[in-house]
A and B are shown apart, each in its own frame.
Chain A
Amino acid sequence: EAGVAQSPRYKIIEKRQSVAFWCNPISGHATLYWYQQILGQGPKLLIQFQNNGVVDDSQLPKDRFSAERLKGVDSTLKIQPAKLEDSAVYLCASSLIGGLAQTYTQYFGPGTRLTVL
């Protein structure tokens, strides 16, 4: 079974530029998550989708971050304009979700390392 795919793996941009990240979850997983992981910290949830609807975006800085999951499969996360403090690893995760606790288990992609200069 293929895992969560993310691209690009690395991105370097200058502040005030825009950037987009792509994620393809595990086949059949209804729920998709975007996390931000700053160096030395654990992942912090930015947004969660169930199918193509947003379930939780309470920690997403909506003035500059946006995300979409058209057709309930792939997702993109965009930052516009980027700030220095956005330098981090952006992780995508997916889970099955179907009532049993086991279906909430999250599986992560390799992440995209963003450096903002």
Chain B
Amino acid sequence: GQQLNQSPQSMFIQEGEDVSMNCTSSSIFNTWLWYKQDPGEGPVLLIALYKAGELTSNGRLTAQFGITRKDSFLNISASIPSDVGIYFCAGSSGTYKYIFGTGTRLKVLA
């Protein structure tokens, strides 16, 4: 099945650094969701975006719905060790069906 492209695939960063990741699609989406998944757990919703250009924050996390509606971005400021995990984007063209990204694996070095 189709999956969205996420970049980077993985990253190691120092605690306190800012992190940026993105998700791109060949299709236009009306909704973007960002999830974090810890080992052995289900994905947990971080941020939901419903309008092109929308910028939404959740604590140290900020996500943007790209103007082209074919991409989305997630930033984490001042990373901490518990930010470790896999971050997935998911996009929907306005129906019930979401397509998931390939994931960005984040490791934070203390």
Which residues of A are interface residues toward B (Cβ below 8 A)? 4, 6, 31, 40-45, 48, 50, 55-56, 59, 91, 93, 95, 97, 101-102, 104-111, 113
Interface size class of B (residues with CB under 8 A): 20 to 34
Q: A42-B101, A110-B42 are in contact. Are A104 and B1 (CB under 8 A)?
A: no
Q: Which residue of B31, B35, B40, B102 is within 8 Å of A104 (Cβ)?
A: B31
- Chain A residues closer than 8 Å to B97, beta-carbon distance: 45, 48, 56
A-B contact count (CB 8 A): 68
- Chain A residues closer than 8 Å to B96, beta-carbon distance: 31, 48, 50, 55-56, 95, 97, 104
Q: Are A105 and B45 in contact, CB atoms less than 8 angstroms apart?
A: yes
- Chain A residues closer than 8 Å to B88, beta-carbon distance: 42-43
Residue of B nearest to A58 (CB): B1
Q: Which residue of B35, B50, B101, B103 is within 8 Å of A102 (Cβ)?
A: B50
Nearest CB of chain B from residue A65's CB, rounded to whole Å: 15
Q: Are A42 and B103 in contact, CB atoms less than 8 angstroms apart?
A: yes
Nearest CB of chain B from residue A88's CB, rounded to whole Å: 13
* Residue interface mask B80-108, A partner, CB < 8 A = 1: 00000000101010111110111100000
Q: Are B41 and A110 in contact, CB atoms less than 8 angstroms apart?
A: yes
The residue among A4, A97, A104, A111 with the most chain B CB atoms within 10 A of its own CB is A104
Q: Any chain A CB within 8 A of the CB of B30?
A: yes
Q: Which residue of B30, B35, B48 is within 8 Å of A108 (Cβ)?
A: B35
